[in-house]
Structure 1
Amino acid sequence: MGTVNACVKRGYITVASLIAILSGLLLAITLFSHGHFHEDEEIERVLPGLQVMYATSIITILLVTTGLYGICKRKKWMLICYIVGMTLCCMLLSVLDLQGVAARPKLVEDIRVHYSGLLHFSNASKEDLEGIGEIQTELQCCGISQGYQDWGYNISESCLCVEGAVHPCVAAPRNSSLFENTKTDEPIMIYKEPCIIYLAMYALFALDVLLGIILGTILLWVLSVVLCGVTLCQMNRKEDTPAVVYSPEAKAGNYSVLIDDAEVT
């Protein structure tokens, strides 16, 4: 069995340890998220994603443990299991990443369809209206698709522009509910743009961040597979050992004196 280069071995151990730490963090985040959504009504919607996170983190930890033990104990079959397992995981993540890229154009349309039933807010429940109000306050927008016109006469107070607002504002119509209890002629400023623009923007940003994390994970896993493959190749390499040749001339005591005893004294 050949000798493994020290730099390659340390590099593999470092990368594999980093993968193990990240996988442990992913498992902790998954457990926390599962506990957070455990009694929530949306648990059925997020459960498939949690299952994928569970499987990814646990399988990765097991593979990294196998690879680290294999390189420390010089077990070739463990390194082979690590290479095969991590390669399959990289292929799976690559497919998920490509699906995420392909889903970017459809994401905006899905958001629009999701809120299309709330246009003009005539059939929206109290919970939906409260949720929309929170969105308007946080994103500094008004309405979903058509701006303040979605509210009709009863424009929500969450549409009111705050001091130092980042997004553009416009004067509210005089025949709206905002002027019922006011006697001033000064205009009341509300947010101009609908929330669908910012909802789509933040959703795309979150998706891009997720895809970037997946891509970085794939590159880190590929690096560990390459280092593990180099390590395995070095272990399979045969070391050159000098051949032992017997010579009948090599007799014990067959030496010649270089100096005389008289010269020494």
Structure 2
Amino acid sequence: MGKVNIHLKRSFLCSVGVIAALNLLMLGSAIFAHANIHYDEKTEETTLWLNVSCVFCTTTLVLAFFGGFGSLKEKKWPLIVFAVGMSAGFLSFVALEVHAQVIKTQMEDHIRSHFLDLLPLTNASQDDLKMLNNAQMQFQCCGVEQGYLDWKNNISQTCLCHNMSINPCVPAPKGSFQFTVEGPEDQPIMIYSKPCIPLIIEETYFYLNISSCIHAGFMILWMLPIGLCIAILCQINKKLETPEVVYSKEARAGKYSCLVETPDDYIA
């Protein structure tokens, strides 16, 4: 059995400790969310994800224990359990990332169809109009697909630009609701020019990309202890090369000659 390099062992223990700390934090967050979420807000999908998170984090903590124990004692079977279990977890991360990319491609169609169902806005329900008005205030947009034209001549007040507006604005068309607001005649009332659908899709993609980057970083961190564990197993399985010792009876007989000259030789 070979001897494990001390630097390799320390690197492995540090990486396992970081993963254990992260999973302990996530486990605590999942338990806290499960205990404090309101009963009326609990859905079957939310409860399922919380339960899966608790099981996953608990399993990872157990695997981290096996990995640390196997590294300290230099035993193969705990390290093999750790490597196999962590590899299965890594494959689950890959499957989730592929699923997230599939959902990402479908998200645009879902958002677009959801808001297009509100048209025409003159026939939309009060709940739908309230949702659209909230989106217009949050994203500084107006209308659904064609901007303020979707509102006809009854443009919502949430389309009005204010002093802190970031997105571009245009003068409100004549005959619209905004021209009933008192104000200087030489300064037209400005409304947001961009429709809401592109802005909502852009922000959704932004957060999805951030989530994918965090997920990719976590996958890289997850791969590190697996590689170090495999390296430790290779060193443990490596046999130390020792010189072959052959016993010979002639060695005990003392059949050897002295290479150093004695003082008598010099006197002669």
TM-score, normalised by the number of residues in structure 1: 0.82
State the percentage of identical aligned residues: 36
What CA distance in whole angstroms lies between the structure 1 residues aligned with 2:170 and 2:40? 38
Structure 1 counterpart of 2:18: 18
Aligned to 2:174: 174
Q: How large is the RMSD of aligned CA atoms in angstroms?
A: 2.9
Measure how far apart 1:162 and its partner are. 1.6
CA distance, structure 1, for counterparts of residue 35 and residue 215 of structure 2: 24
Superposed displacement of residue 16, structure 1 = 1.1
Other structure's SS at 1:103 match? helix
Partner secondary structure for residue 173 of structure 1:
coil
Tell me, in whole angstroms, the C-alpha distance in 2 between the residues paired with 1:47 and 1:199. 28
- Find the aligned partners of 2:192 and 2:42 in 1 and give their Cα distance: 31
Aligned to 2:82: 82
Kindly state the Cα deviation for residue 35 of structure 1 after the two structures are TM-superposed.
4.8
Residues 143-154 of structure 1 aligned to structure 2 (within 5 Å): 143-154=143-154
Aligned to 2:103: 103
2:266 aligned residue: none
Where in structure 1 are there 5+ consecutive unaligned residues?
A: 261-265
Determine the C-alpha separation between the residues in 2 that align with 1:207 and 1:17: 28
Counterparts in 2 of 1:60 and 1:44: CA distance versus 1, 3 Å = same
Q: Equivalent residue for 2:232?
A: 231
1:38 aligns with 2:38: yes
Give the distance between the partners of 1:194 and 1:217, measured in 2 at CA.
36
Q: What is the CA-CA distance between 1:29 and the residue it aligns to?
A: 3.4
Shift of the alpha carbon at 1:230?
A: 0.8
141-150 vs 7-16, which moves further: 141-150
Q: CA deviation at 1:148?
A: 2.2
Structure 2 spans left out of the alignment, 5+ residues: 264-268
CA shift for structure 1 position 74: 2.4
After superposition, the C-alpha distances for 1:68-111 in whole angstroms (9 at most, x for unaligned) are: 12212223111111111111111111122122223332211111
TM-score (ref. length: structure 2):
0.82
Aligned to 2:195: 194
Query: In the TM superposition, what whole-angstrom CA distance separates every residue of 1:122-161 from its partner, at most 9, and x where no partner exists?
Result: 33334x4333333222221112222223334443322211
Looking at structure 2, the residues matched to 208 and 224 of structure 1 have their Cα atoms a distance apart, in angstroms, of 26
